[in-house]
Structure 1
Amino acid sequence: MSALLPLRMVERPWGRHALPAPFTAPAGCKIGEVWFDPPAELSQLLVKYIFTSEALSVQVHPSDDQAPGQGKEECWLVIAADPGARLGVGFTRDIPPEAMRAAALDGSIEHLLEWHPVAAGDFFHIPPGTVHAIGPGIGLIEVQQNSDVTYRLYDYGRPRELHLDQGMKVARGEPYRRESHCRVPGSGSVTLVDGPRFRLDRLDGTGDARLAARYGERPLLVIPVSGSVRLAGETVGPGQCALAPALAALDPEPGAKLLIAQPA
């Protein structure tokens, strides 16, 4: 049985007709997301690639406490960004709920967000309740709780449903925590997320005793960012995601950079 996870291409109004290698969009389709179907062993996690030609909606996700079994904690690793590309995460100042709702209705919420200029290597952890938006001209890898609960607060006039009542109940009208954003160094293994719902590390080489202790002899997902890794007799490279029975099962080629993820 292959360790590679099946992928699905998802059309979005803000997607792209042409995708970067190794992906190819079907003719006439505007692909915004590439999903990897979660394996039964790690059904709590979902891995996606996201490619934007237009801005995504301003949105927010609930926590597991607010929506049992449907909470959505997520994170992004930017892998490509056009000049001037930005991510909107959190607000520039504290915003009370009534002011946030009014801004969502008149569209000014877009201008209340803090827009972060980004380049390949920028990483953002997005806890539930964080109001956010992805701008155009960005390619990123998203690792998230396996939930599709999204409350759209503003959608640039697109004819899609908004969810202001639900969104106002969970949205935090506050600036983004600086410690949730980092530039991933060019070399070395680094912890990117350490709970509460999942752990994520960027692995450079075979890892170390610290990572071995964190991940133990338990299944994990591996997403190559650059270079490839041998796993169960298969080569897994960028644009793919695979299930590994344990960290020790990975045999990365020299210089390979991998994301590894596991429920916390």
Structure 2
Amino acid sequence: MVAKPWGVNVLPAPFEGQEGGERIGEIWFEPLPAADQLLVKYIFTSEALSVQVHPSDAQTLADGLGCQGKEECWLILQAEPGAKLGIGFIDEISADAMRASAKDGSIENLLAWHPVEAGDFIYIPANTVHAIGAGVSLIEVQQNSDITYRLYDYGRPRELHLENAIAIAAGMPHDPLLRSHVPETGHEVLVDGPLFRLDRLEGDIREDVFARYTGPLLVIPQEGSALVAGEMVQAGQCALAENLSFVGMEEGSKVLIARSI
């Protein structure tokens, strides 16, 4: 449980009653060695997150940071009426204009704000300037890195990283092919590289899924439950399976599986 100034006082199901008096913004599942390149989070917002950007693997290597970069994706679980995500810019913008807009706060108005609802899915490549708006609950699957450069934070008393952010930020719109709505039922390939895979399973696991998921993988029930090595894993939990043959689907359940490439 990670307290955040933009978090919520009351967590939704299946986490209700676990707040401990704090405003919880994120729930992290601590990675195990066999899958430590990926991190799974739940995120809950009552206010907008900062306008931020993350570096790529190549950029962290060039900067001598000693860790991987951060690409991430979001599956929206709940969204209040009017909830939005800021992803990329409406129009191309220069580094100087981005810097000036971050300083005076107008960067918020230059982002492309996309209305969202439950079932929406968004992939965020490294270097994409983005912000999660208020009233959203989502599952995030990301490279296991917490390098975040904030450009703007609505006047909150937190550190900004303007020059680091400007050095890596892509001043352009987000690719619409990286945004989709996941159908209510069936198997869906959500991410197939270049850094990790993510699928939503429902029903029997197909042979082609076994071919794509060799070795250890993460199992994240979205609705219902799954069996991992004979143990029940419920929605709101995350498990590590030695391989996909150790995973059993419970009838009517929707389950995310993920692995790094």
If the length of structure 1 is used for normalisation, what is the TM-score?
0.95
Q: Deviations over 1:187-243 (max 9, x none)?
A: 111111111111111111232121111012x01001111111111222111100000
Given that 1:25 and 1:31 are in contact with CA atoms closer than 8 Å, whether structure 2 keeps it comes out as: no
Please show how residues 61-100 of structure 1 align to structure 2 within 5 Å.
61-68=54-61, 69-100=67-98
Distance 2:205 2:184 in 1: 15
* Correspondence for 1:222: 219
Structure 1 spans left out of the alignment, 5+ residues: 1-8
Distance 1:27 1:251 in 2: 33
Q: Deviations over 1:34-84 (max 9, x none)?
A: 000001101100000000000000000000000122300100000000000
Distance 2:194 2:106 in 1: 32
Please report the RMSD computed on the Cα atoms of aligned residues, expressed in angstroms.
0.9
* Correspondence for 2:239: 242
Q: Deviations over 1:17-39 (max 9, x none)?
A: 10012213433200000000001
Distance 1:120 1:26 in 2: 23
State the AA in 1 paired with 2:210: A
Distance 1:74 1:66 in 2: 16
Structure 2 spans left out of the alignment, 5+ residues: 62-66
* Correspondence for 1:12: 4
1:37 maps onto 2:34 in alignment: no
Distance 2:73 2:49 in 1: 16
Distance 1:236 1:76 in 2: 21
Q: Which moved more, 1:226-235 or 1:88-97?
A: 226-235
State the AA in 2 paired with 1:21: A
Please show how residues 65-144 of structure 1 align to structure 2 within 5 Å.
65-68=58-61, 69-144=67-142
Given that 1:206 and 1:250 are in contact with CA atoms closer than 8 Å, whether structure 2 keeps it comes out as: no
If the length of structure 2 is used for normalisation, what is the TM-score?
0.96
Q: Deviations over 1:95-133 (max 9, x none)?
A: 111001100000000000000100000000000000000
Distance 2:204 2:103 in 1: 50
State the AA in 2 paired with 1:16: V
State the AA in 2 paired with 1:31: I
Corresponding residue SS for 1:99: helix
Corresponding residue SS for 1:78: strand
State the AA in 1 paired with 2:59: Q
Distance 1:250 1:120 in 2: 26
Distance 1:247 1:190 in 2: 16
1:252 maps onto 2:245 in alignment: no
Given that 1:36 and 1:47 are in contact with CA atoms closer than 8 Å, whether structure 2 keeps it comes out as: yes
Distance 2:187 2:21 in 1: 40
Percent identical residues: 61
Given that 1:17 and 1:27 are in contact with CA atoms closer than 8 Å, whether structure 2 keeps it comes out as: no
Corresponding residue SS for 1:67: helix
Q: Deviations over 1:122-162 (max 9, x none)?
A: 00000000000000000000000000100000000000111
Distance 2:19 2:211 in 1: 42
1:28 maps onto 2:21 in alignment: yes
State the AA in 2 paired with 1:17: N
State the AA in 1 paired with 2:249: P
